[in-house]
Structure 1
Amino acid sequence: MSSTASSFQALGRLLRYARGYRRRIIAASLCSILNKLFDIAPEILIGVAIDVVVNQEESFVAGLGFTTAQEQILVLGALTFFIWAGESLFEYLFQILWRNLAQRLQADLRQDAYEHAQRLDMGFFESKSSGQLVATMNDDVNQLERFLDGGANAMIQVGVTVVAVGAVFFVLSPLIALLAFTPIPLIVWGAFYFQRKAGPLYADVRERVGDLSSRLANNLAGIATIKSFTAEAREAERLKAASEAYVEANRRAIRISSAFIPVIRMAILTGFLATFTVGGMMALRGELNVGAYGVLVFLTQRLLWPLTGLAQVIDLFERAMASTRRILDLLATPIRVRDAADRPLADPVRGEVRFEDVAFRYGGSGAGVEGIDLAVPAGHTLALVGATGSGKSTLIKLLLRFVEPDAGRVRVDGQPVDSVSLASLRRAIGLVSQDVYLFEGTVRDNIAYGKPEAEEGEIIEAARTAEAWDFIRALPEGLDTPVGERGVRLSGGQRQRLSLARALLKDPPILVLDEATSAVDNETEAAIQRSLQHIGHGRTVIMIAHRLSTIVHADEIAVIEAGRVVERGTHGELLARDGRYAAQWRVQTGVVEAADVPQA
């Protein structure tokens, strides 16, 4: 598909999306049309005024009943006032309408894109960089706003100018009209030629913007790692390379778009000279009224000169359509995890969890799980152990419906999780992961994230249960202490305890701990273990752990290897079986036998 067709296809998609704004678009377009009609009228009045001065009682205005030249001049003055007032009024109106439309549409488009992205499965986010998504929802939306602010009006007014002025030309002199319009096909062809050349270049510019945003976001998030490895110079060079790639992509697009105006200027000169010389000769021979000649000369510039603005308009249009494609492509990304919004989990939720012959594979790596059959009775604790990449966290994603199984079913209290609403399912599950994410705000805000209406007493109780209250009280502002972006003002152990408190405040029937103690110190681990012994009563707990000392009291332990359950039982049963779990236990407790040591 050519760039031109692709851009107009994107425009069509945008208009279909914006059908709810149809009345505003029609009103803004009508004001643009009327403004341009009033805008070209003074040139016609100039020609009529020349006709009055030259022909007086025999002028065109005299034929309307105004016999003296003085009356005719006064009439033209009054018309001039109303024309300028009309032009000013409709310019004000189209500015208001187009700019407000741009603001409303960009806000709604960004909101819709964000809300749609929130409904996409986790696999989508694992395949896309956050920088690209931020660039789409922010920079691309802003690019479309800039086009609606001025470019849409400019496109409409160029079209109105060609039609309206062309009609006047053909009424006054078909021959001069033909000569004046001769360059227009060249100008239009040149506009679309440059558009076709520039389209792919601007699409590349948008990609480079996403890459640059991604690089900046990643580097700022990983600034501590950069500093610790003294990699500042290297990362600065990488950023410079991404920035230079953006500059180079823009340079290629600018080189094409900048060539348009000089070429079009010469085509305009041809049309103007034809009108000027041929029309002048006809006026000298008496074949053309002097006033009409004046109108034609003035309108030739009014007709052709705005076409030089096509370069900027098409430049803006191409940038906007490249951005529009990215935004609408995001909105068109299929939602794979469907929400049965009208079917909540049966209340009260007891917390029984079953994995029935569940299979799932990641598209890129082929890793995943296969044939998983596990049952966790309500109020019991299941521990999942295994090497990194064995499939433990995949089971948690399947339970929370972050991804959908390729085969088998996951059930909560006997109900398939794909047949109940996502909100009721996820409200029933409290997740504490190894990678704690705290939002910028206060300690209070983060603990109450899952229950914003919680009272202070509830927040404090959750913090006490998570053994976080002692350190919170010691903070300068207590619960109102800002945690910083991603919780950077707190230690790793403190962040982990806040994460546990946040999950506990929900009071979920199912608590999921995804390696929640793997990145904390011994004191914090002991504190979390004491909390778990207290909160585990009466609720289902699913734990993923590398430290086997944290799961010895679990009702059942499942050892997962290469996506399959290879051992299961209690801690004592698995030690007695002397298999993989027992070997791992001996390694972690320092009782290593020769059979446990990998052979070279």
Structure 2
Amino acid sequence: MTEMKTSSHGSQGRPAATPSRGDRGPGRVNPADKKQIKAHPVSLKRIAALFAPHKVTITVVVLLITASSVISLAQPFLVRGIIDSALPDRNLPLLGWLAGAMIAVAAATAAIGVVQTWMATAMGQEIMHTLRTRLFMHLQRQSLAFFTTTRSGEVQSRLNNDISGMQSVITSTATGVASNLTTAVGTAVAMVALSPRLSLMSLIVIPPAVWFSRRVALLRRDVTSSMQAELATMNTYVEEGLSVSGVRLAKTLGTTGRDAARYTESSQRLIGLELRSQLAGRWRMATMGIIFSAIPALIYFAGGLPGSTMSIGTIVAFTALQAAIFRPIMGLLNLGVQWVTAMALFSRIFEYLDLVPDITAPARPVPLDPAAVRGEVRFENVHFAYDGGPDVLRGIDLALPAGSATAVVGPTGSGKSTLGALLPRLHDTTAGRVTIDGVDVRDIAPEVLARIVGVVSQETYLIHASIRENLQLAAPDAGDAELWQALGAARIADLVAGLPDGLDTLVGARGHRFSGGEQQRLAIARTILRNPRVLILDEATSALDNTTEAQVQAALDHLAVGRTTLTIAHRLSTIEDADQLAVLAGGELVERGTPARLRDAGGAYAALLAADEQLEPAA
């Protein structure tokens, strides 16, 4: 609609654009995550409610993790038995039992790991499915104003990226805490049981190794975040430069070279980031490699000192345990950063779920049968303002008798399209009311109102599917006979019949395989299938040439027969047959009457006609 106003999110309390995740230094929690959590705190009780239906699964997963950690600790002791007893004594039965036990332990931990991963992943997917569908349906309930003030990429990011990012939170972080904790504690106990002295030595070596690894991990995470931000920029350039509208704009403005340069520069920056990602912390990792190489050497050296009573099997088993304890400790140390990241994801999702729709469905809708609606429309002392701004409409009183044709005219910015948007509840009145057969539209269930009121605007939207699928959006159960009948009424049946695939022809992105007039007539056919009792024509022919306009106007005239029609007119020549005209100026109704009477009255409508006639020769 041409008169749709926009506003900042600040006045509505809606989320602003997502800050880049690549703007933090190494070794720190993402400041954007902290800011998000501070702006929209997350209740742990609310998060727990998501997991509540999965209590049994969580309990079983934790038990499996604990069992796997405990069972895997048997391996070093089995190795010690083989080295210290079975091999030196040539005890084949013992060797067979110990080797078999090693295989059994490996098989058991592998099987437990598969079951645990399957259960945790299934639970995570169920939770994400719940959040994803809840968020999608909640966003559908938002008013048109929300979408005019929010970047589409931001909505998609919350719906796809943030919820997908929770996969690691649910299936990795949550289960990782239990796994790392049980493994670290169990390994530490086993190390002390094997050799208290070597355990004390490990306490000296492990801290610097952990510190180096943590620094490298955080550094790489920061570079990865920068890469994600750059990839998002590249995706934006692709969308802007390679979509149908983007390519058309670039070719007509001659900006293809600039677009290619922007994409090339972004790709070049990505090369640098990829190099940084691969080389990040290489010196630290080299230092850590030396430390890790030194650990077994020190253990072997301690085992060989005079007076040492440690067996070779004990030393080998301890070395394996000492290497195994490093990973769970690192996992636990990263828990703080992972926690903040997880809370930020929940915060961003809950922030959208907490948005209060400007337009809500009635708690107790008035029962109304669309087939029995007469179609009498009234605007009663209607006022409207965008987001608390000045009134765009002031004191509009207008009656549309059932089955009549009313045209609304006026200069640009007079409030014509805004008036039309109030009837299907794309906006709600600031004061006054709009009624259909005496029922306030705010008291009609949204799905019923959509069946009663149909809209054809100059901004036709066709989904990237076949003609058949586009038409069946209005009537899912319509058969081919009904589809062809609607196409015939819209004056486009012959064109579709001449296509190789007929009804199964793909319309292309946003319908761009068809001309503007053909898109309009397909949209009209779709509205005919919907069979609304009240019809709004919002400047439906204003962007068409004269020949195409005549074809579309013929289809519109056929569509309007027997319906209450509100036409928002740009070209005055198309509304001469209207039953009444309403002239708006500055948001107020300044004239009302038949076209002939208002033309002879010499008022606002006569002035619009005179201006239109002056422009006609140029057109």
TM-score, normalised with respect to structure 2: 0.79
Is the alpha carbon distance of 1:584 and 1:266 closer, same or farther for their aligned partners in structure 2, counting shifts above 3 Å?
farther
Aligned partner of residue 524 in structure 2, secondary structure: helix
1:439 aligns with 2:466: no
Query: Take 1:427 and 1:137, find their aligned partners in 2: how far apart are those partners?
Result: 29
Instruction: Give the aligned partner of residue 340 of structure 1.
Output: 362
Residue 192 (structure 1) shift: 7.1
- 1:549-582 alpha-carbon deviations (Å, 9 max, x no partner): 1122223322333433333333233323323321
Is the alpha carbon distance of 1:446 and 1:406 closer, same or farther for their aligned partners in structure 2, counting shifts above 3 Å?
same
Counterpart residue type for residue 188 of structure 2: G
Is the alpha carbon distance of 1:206 and 1:403 closer, same or farther for their aligned partners in structure 2, counting shifts above 3 Å?
farther
Query: Take 2:271 and 2:339, find their aligned partners in 1: how far apart are those partners?
Result: 20
Query: Take 1:320 and 1:221, find their aligned partners in 2: how far apart are those partners?
Result: 37
- 1:303-333 alpha-carbon deviations (Å, 9 max, x no partner): 1256567899999988877666544444443
Instruction: Give the aligned partner of residue 381 of structure 1.
Output: 405
Query: Take 1:424 and 1:258, find their aligned partners in 2: how far apart are those partners?
Result: 64
1:231 aligns with 2:242: no
State which of 37, 62, 71 in structure 1 corresponds to 2:70.
37
- 1:459-483 alpha-carbon deviations (Å, 9 max, x no partner): 2222222222233333333333332
Aligned partner of residue 43 in structure 1, secondary structure: helix
Residue 18 (structure 1) shift: 4.4
Residue 234 (structure 1) shift: 1.8
Alignment of 1:286-365 (within 5 A): 286=308, 291-304=313-326, 326-340=348-362, 343=365, 345-347=367-369, 348-363=372-387
State which of 102, 121, 141 in structure 2 corresponds to 1:80.
102
State which of 472, 475, 483 in structure 2 corresponds to 1:448.
472
Alignment of 1:186-205 (within 5 A): none
State which of 397, 406, 430 in structure 1 corresponds to 2:430.
406
Residue 274 (structure 1) shift: 6.1
Alignment of 1:552-567 (within 5 A): 552-567=576-591
**8 Å Cα contact 1:444-1:459 kept in structure 2:** yes
Structure 1 regions of 5+ residues with no counterpart?
57-67, 593-600
- 1:338-373 alpha-carbon deviations (Å, 9 max, x no partner): 223762552222222233333333349868434433
Is the alpha carbon distance of 1:571 and 1:178 closer, same or farther for their aligned partners in structure 2, counting shifts above 3 Å?
farther
Counterpart residue type for residue 519 of structure 2: R
Query: Take 1:238 and 1:425, find their aligned partners in 2: how far apart are those partners?
Result: 46
**8 Å Cα contact 2:142-2:358 kept in structure 1:** yes
- 1:210-247 alpha-carbon deviations (Å, 9 max, x no partner): 55444433331412222222221122234445656777
Is the alpha carbon distance of 1:199 and 1:73 closer, same or farther for their aligned partners in structure 2, counting shifts above 3 Å?
closer
**8 Å Cα contact 1:143-1:319 kept in structure 2:** no
Instruction: Give the aligned partner of residue 191 of structure 2.
Output: 169
Query: Take 1:11 and 1:287, find their aligned partners in 2: how far apart are those partners?
Result: 55
**8 Å Cα contact 1:129-1:214 kept in structure 2:** no
Residue 488 (structure 1) shift: 1.8
Instruction: Give the aligned partner of residue 149 of structure 2.
Output: 127
Instruction: Give the aligned partner of residue 524 of structure 1.
Output: 548
Is the alpha carbon distance of 1:185 and 1:456 closer, same or farther for their aligned partners in structure 2, counting shifts above 3 Å?
same
1:52 aligns with 2:85: yes
Residue 428 (structure 1) shift: 0.9
**8 Å Cα contact 2:407-2:581 kept in structure 1:** yes
Is the alpha carbon distance of 1:277 and 1:126 closer, same or farther for their aligned partners in structure 2, counting shifts above 3 Å?
farther
State which of 524, 527, 533 in structure 2 corresponds to 1:509.
533
Alignment of 1:413-432 (within 5 A): 413-432=437-456
State which of 89, 92, 95 in structure 1 corresponds to 2:111.
89
Identity of aligned residues (%): 30
**8 Å Cα contact 2:414-2:587 kept in structure 1:** yes
Query: Take 1:384 and 1:588, find their aligned partners in 2: how far apart are those partners?
Result: 15
Aligned partner of residue 325 in structure 2, secondary structure: helix
Counterpart residue type for residue 346 of structure 1: L
Query: Take 2:213 and 2:49, find their aligned partners in 1: how far apart are those partners?
Result: 25
1:550 aligns with 2:574: yes
Is the alpha carbon distance of 1:248 and 1:38 closer, same or farther for their aligned partners in structure 2, counting shifts above 3 Å?
same
Is the alpha carbon distance of 1:529 and 1:152 closer, same or farther for their aligned partners in structure 2, counting shifts above 3 Å?
same
Residue 175 (structure 1) shift: 4.6
Report the more deviating stretch, 271-280 or 460-469: 271-280
Query: Take 2:271 and 2:367, find their aligned partners in 1: how far apart are those partners?
Result: 53
Alignment of 1:581-600 (within 5 A): 581-590=605-614
Residue 498 (structure 1) shift: 1.1
Alignment of 1:276-291 (within 5 A): 277-278=301-302, 281=305, 284-286=306-308, 291=313
Residue 493 (structure 1) shift: 1.0
Counterpart residue type for residue 445 of structure 2: S
Structure 2 regions of 5+ residues with no counterpart?
1-27
Residue 490 (structure 1) shift: 1.5
Is the alpha carbon distance of 1:436 and 1:345 closer, same or farther for their aligned partners in structure 2, counting shifts above 3 Å?
farther
Is the alpha carbon distance of 1:478 and 1:55 closer, same or farther for their aligned partners in structure 2, counting shifts above 3 Å?
closer
**8 Å Cα contact 1:383-1:545 kept in structure 2:** yes
Query: Take 2:114 and 2:398, find their aligned partners in 1: how far apart are those partners?
Result: 68
Report the more deviating stretch, 225-234 or 266-275: 266-275
Counterpart residue type for residue 564 of structure 1: E
Residue 147 (structure 1) shift: 6.4
Is the alpha carbon distance of 1:216 and 1:385 closer, same or farther for their aligned partners in structure 2, counting shifts above 3 Å?
farther
Residue 101 (structure 1) shift: 4.3
Is the alpha carbon distance of 1:572 and 1:101 closer, same or farther for their aligned partners in structure 2, counting shifts above 3 Å?
same
Counterpart residue type for residue 506 of structure 1: R
- 1:244-293 alpha-carbon deviations (Å, 9 max, x no partner): 67777888888878787557657756766665555654xx5256566444
**8 Å Cα contact 2:406-2:565 kept in structure 1:** yes
Instruction: Give the aligned partner of residue 498 of structure 1.
Output: 522
Is the alpha carbon distance of 1:336 and 1:250 closer, same or farther for their aligned partners in structure 2, counting shifts above 3 Å?
farther
Residue 161 (structure 1) shift: 2.2
Is the alpha carbon distance of 1:449 and 1:216 closer, same or farther for their aligned partners in structure 2, counting shifts above 3 Å?
same
Query: Take 2:589 and 2:513, find their aligned partners in 1: how far apart are those partners?
Result: 40
Report the more deviating stretch, 335-344 or 464-473: 335-344
Instruction: Give the aligned partner of residue 597 of structure 1.
Output: none
1:474 aligns with 2:493: no
**8 Å Cα contact 2:410-2:608 kept in structure 1:** no
Instruction: Give the aligned partner of residue 59 of structure 1.
Output: none
How large is the Cα RMSD of the aligned pairs?
4.1
Residue 420 (structure 1) shift: 2.4
Aligned partner of residue 379 in structure 2, secondary structure: strand
Instruction: Give the aligned partner of residue 598 of structure 1.
Output: none
Report the more deviating stretch, 144-153 or 472-481: 144-153
Aligned partner of residue 430 in structure 1, secondary structure: strand
Counterpart residue type for residue 491 of structure 1: S
Residue 297 (structure 1) shift: 2.4
Counterpart residue type for residue 613 of structure 2: T
State which of 128, 139, 142 in structure 2 corresponds to 1:117.
139
Query: Take 1:41 and 1:11, find their aligned partners in 2: how far apart are those partners?
Result: 41
Query: Take 1:161 and 1:369, find their aligned partners in 2: how far apart are those partners?
Result: 68
Counterpart residue type for residue 34 of structure 1: A
Query: Take 1:242 and 1:461, find their aligned partners in 2: how far apart are those partners?
Result: 51
Report the more deviating stretch, 99-108 or 438-447: 99-108
Query: Take 2:42 and 2:273, find their aligned partners in 1: how far apart are those partners?
Result: 21
Report the more deviating stretch, 119-128 or 392-401: 392-401
Is the alpha carbon distance of 1:462 and 1:173 closer, same or farther for their aligned partners in structure 2, counting shifts above 3 Å?
same
Is the alpha carbon distance of 1:116 and 1:92 closer, same or farther for their aligned partners in structure 2, counting shifts above 3 Å?
same
Aligned partner of residue 358 in structure 1, secondary structure: strand
**8 Å Cα contact 1:136-1:210 kept in structure 2:** no
